[in-house]
Amino acid sequence: MPEQGKTPLRKLLRVPAGGVDLSAYDAGAKPGGPRDKKAGLAATADMGEELAGLQDRLWASSTAGDPRRVLLVLQGMDTSGKGGTVKHVIGMLHPYGTHTKAFKAPTAEEREHHFLWRIEKEVPRAGEIGTFDRSHYEDVLAVRVRELAPPEEIERRYDEINRFEQRLADDRVTLVKCFLHISYEEQRRRLLRRLDRTDKQWKFSPDDIDDRALWPAYQRAYEIALSRCNAPHAPWYLIPADRKWYRNWAVGRLLLEHMRALDPQYPKPGYDVEECRRRLLGE
C-alpha cells in the first residue's frame, strides 16, 4: 500500500492548543485518509502486520527492562464507535500485550475513592498497549453535564487530570487520546439501526433517546476538556467518525505513527547463542 498523503495524521488531526469549536468540524470528513471505503478497509488491514510487529518488539523490549508502553484513550458520544474501534484496531494485535478496559458508571466502591483511583489500576504495564473505552474524562464530561459533582470540584479535576497525565508521560507512557466525533444525525441513524436488528436491540435503551437532549451540553463539555487537557505529552486527536472505515483507519494510523516513533528493538541475547545451539544439537 502506498502511504496516504505526506502529512502525518498526528499533525492533521491534532486538536489545536487554543481548543476547538466542534460544530465547525465535519464528522463525515476524511482528512488524510484513503479515497473511499474499499481503499480504507484495505489500508487498515494492511496496517495489521506492521502494528503487530511493533507490538511484538515493544513487548520483547520490555522483557529487557524497557519501561515504555502506550495508552490509547477512546472517548465519544454513545454509538460513536468506541467498541467498534477496539474490535477492528486492537483486534489486529496479539491479545497478549494488550490491555483493554471499558469504564462504566462507577461502582459504589469506586465512588468512595478519588476519581483517578480506578483509572490508576488499569494503566498499562511496561510493554503493553492499553486501551480505555471511556476514561477519567467521564469525570469532567458526564459528571459535568449531569451535575454529579459540585462545580468547584469539577473545576479542580482538569488540573488533576493534567498532573496525572504528566506523571504517566514521565513514567514512559505514550498517550494517544482520540475523540470520536459523530454528528447528531448519524447518531439517530445508528440508534435506529439498533432498533431494526434483533441482534442489536439489546444494546439499546430508551434512555439513549432522552440523552440526546443533552447533546449540546456534552459537545460543550468535550470542547472544554479538549482545550484544558491537551498537553504536548498527552495530545487529543479529533477523529471524524461518521464513516466507520475512516475512524478505524485513522485510529490505527495514529497508533502506528506513535509506535514507529517509539521504534522498540528486540533485545540482544544475554547468552551464548552458538554454545546453546551446540548443546541442543549434541543432546
Q: What angle do CA 265, 131, 258 make, to 5 degrees?
A: 40
Smallest gap from Cβ 275 to its own copies, in A, equals: 8
β-strand 69-76 against 173-181: which pairing, if any? parallel
Residue with smaller CB distance to its own copies, 163 or 278? 278
Measured between alpha carbons, how far is 167 from 192 in angstroms, rounded to an integer?
Answer: 42
For residue 73, give the H/E element and its range.
strand 69-76
Residue with smaller CB distance to its own copies, 23 or 63? 63
Residue with smaller CB distance to its own copies, 87 or 172? 87
Interaction of residue 263 with its own copies, rule CB under 8 A: no
Q: Residues binding its own copies: what is the number (CB under 8 A)?
A: 43
Measured between alpha carbons, how far is 255 from 98 in angstroms, rounded to an integer?
Answer: 13
Interaction of residue 280 with its own copies, rule CB under 8 A: yes
Q: Which residues contact 231 (CB under 8 A, 6 or more apart)?
A: 162, 165, 166, 169
Q: Which residues contact 181 (CB under 8 A, 6 or more apart)?
A: 22, 25, 27, 76, 80, 238, 239, 240, 241
Interaction of residue 108 with its own copies, rule CB under 8 A: no
Query: In terms of residues, how long is the chain?
Result: 283
| Residues 224, 140 contacting (CB under 8 angstroms) | yes
Window 4-33: residues binding its own copies (CB under 8 A): none
Residue with smaller CB distance to its own copies, 51 or 140? 51
Residue with smaller CB distance to its own copies, 232 or 282? 282
Window 112-131: residues binding its own copies (CB under 8 A): 131
Interaction of residue 64 with its own copies, rule CB under 8 A: yes
Interaction of residue 105 with its own copies, rule CB under 8 A: no
Torsion of CA 52, 56, 59, 60, to 10 degrees: -170
Q: What angle do CA 132, 40, 246 make, to 5 degrees?
A: 45
Window 178-217: residues binding its own copies (CB under 8 A): 188, 191-192, 195, 198-199, 201-206, 209, 212
Measured between alpha carbons, how far is 96 from 52 in angstroms, rounded to an integer?
Answer: 11
Interaction of residue 98 with its own copies, rule CB under 8 A: yes
Interaction of residue 261 with its own copies, rule CB under 8 A: no
Window 77-96: residues binding its own copies (CB under 8 A): 83, 86-87, 90-91, 94-96
Smallest gap from Cβ 280 to its own copies, in A, equals: 6
Interaction of residue 107 with its own copies, rule CB under 8 A: no
Q: Which residues contact 68 (CB under 8 A, 6 or more apart)?
A: 58, 61, 62, 126, 127, 172, 173, 174, 262, 264
Residue with smaller CB distance to its own copies, 96 or 153? 96
Which residue ranges make up the site for its own copies (CB under 8 A)? 56-57, 60, 63-64, 83, 86-87, 90-91, 94-96, 98, 100, 102, 131, 188, 191-192, 195, 198-199, 201-206, 209, 212, 266-269, 271, 273, 276-277, 279-281, 283
